[in-house]
Amino acid sequence: MLHRAWEDFAVWGWAKRNVVADAHPPRVPRKGRKVWTVAQLQTFLQRARTDRFFALWVLEATSGMRRCELAGARRDLLDLAAGTLEIDVTRVVVANPLANHMQKALSLFEKGPLALVGSGRDLNPRPRGYE
């Protein structure tokens, strides 16, 4: 917007040149993401084993799903026979430019979330008193 205005000023003779054309925004250095080490992840999963969201934590740690995809995951989209989880609706708080590039189905492998089913783990735990 400023660039166009200063361009007009120069054309009209109100300014000798478009000074905005020489301006560049400051470079903001990117900070690397902090990720857990394998040992930290193992410690977290061991301590979260009794948490009612344990299957979700394993899914997050092993699948690479985005938070919005995890929030939209539902039990009825899980196909145990095929070993897949369909990603139907994602939960997005703000506009997500990557929303069109998200996965539509996820294969669950033996050592991941599907292993929880074989372990007898309840995939739909409810807190006590919750009906």
Residue where the block lists tokens 């994602």: 90
Side-chain-side CA neighbours of 25 within 13 Å: the count stands at 4
Residue where the block lists tokens 């006590």: 128
104 vs 70: CA distance, rounded Å: 12
pLDDT band at 118 (very low <50, low <70, confident <90, very high): very low
Contact 18, 10 (CB under 8 A): yes
Contact 12, 24 (CB under 8 A): no
Task: Give the per-residue pLDDT at 47.
Answer: 93
Return mean pLDDT, the chain.
75
Lowest average pLDDT, out of 2-16, 19-33, 58-72, 97-111, goes to 97-111
Share of the chain above pLDDT 90, in %: 9
The pTM of this model reads 0.51
Task: Give the per-residue pLDDT at 130.
Answer: 47
How, if at all, do strands 84-86 and 78-79 pair? antiparallel
Contact 73, 59 (CB under 8 A): yes
Q: Quick check: 82 pLDDT over 80?
A: yes
**Where would I find the H helices in 64-120?**
67-72, 114-118
Contact 113, 70 (CB under 8 A): no
Task: Give the per-residue pLDDT at 125.
Answer: 53
- Please, what is the Cα angle at 29 between 28 and 34, to 5 degrees? 130
Averaged pLDDT for residues 78-88: 81
pLDDT band at 43 (very low <50, low <70, confident <90, very high): very high
